[in-house]
Amino acid sequence: MTINQEFRDVLREEGMRHTWQRQAVWDEIKSNDEHRDADDIFICLKQAGYPISRATVYRTIDVLVSHGLVRKLDIGEGRMRLEHKLDSHHHDHLICENCGRIIEFISPEIEALQSKISSAHGFALTHHVHQLFGRCLSYPDCDYYRSQNR
């Protein structure tokens, strides 16, 4: 997997150029595990003093996605959340509609059932989207938790 390879080398292998812009976007996305969107990344880089443009951020994200370094997460907000794919296995998401917290979950049972359903319908499964929406009941910093416990 390209994950542990130098970013510079990953690009070179595909005959793509290494630019500070691409490095900066990749570094920024890698730097934390929140599910930020393209504009968050753009703003962080701007604030850090990089003279980068929004277009480049979007284009770079597409490069990262097509190289399997980053995953786009569509939770129905009309914009894409981003997730780096370092050290992570496949997972799906629980999303708190109240505080926006996103929790990852893994369920081999569900994965197995998905395969079963797909083949039962004559489908060759390529990927899936599975998101559980609800409200935190156990996180003190979620407003909903607060409203339930006041």
Interface residues toward a copy of itself, by CB under 8 A: 74, 76, 94, 96-97, 103, 105, 107, 109-110, 113-114, 117-118, 121-139
What residue type is 124 in one-letter code? A
CA dist 74 to 71, 85, 86, 119, 149, Å? 10, 16, 19, 25, 31
Q: Specify whether the CB–CB gap between 22 and 63 falls below 8 A.
A: yes
53 binds DNA (CB under 7 A): yes
Stretch that binds DNA, among 55-63, 91-99, 116-124, 138-146 (CB under 7 A): 55-63
Query: Which of a copy of itself, DNA, none interacts with 59 (beta carbon under 5 to 8 A by kind)?
Result: DNA
54 binds DNA, rule: CB under 7 A: yes
Radius of gyration of the chain (CA): 18
CB 82 within 8 A of CB 36: yes
Q: Does 130 bind DNA (CB under 7 A)?
A: no
Cβ proximity to a copy of itself, 1 vs 120, nearer residue: 120
Q: Which of 9, 13, 16, 27 binds DNA (CB under 7 A)?
A: 16
Q: Is 34 one of the binding residues for DNA (CB under 7 A)?
A: no
Report the DSSP beta bridge partners of residue 70.
84
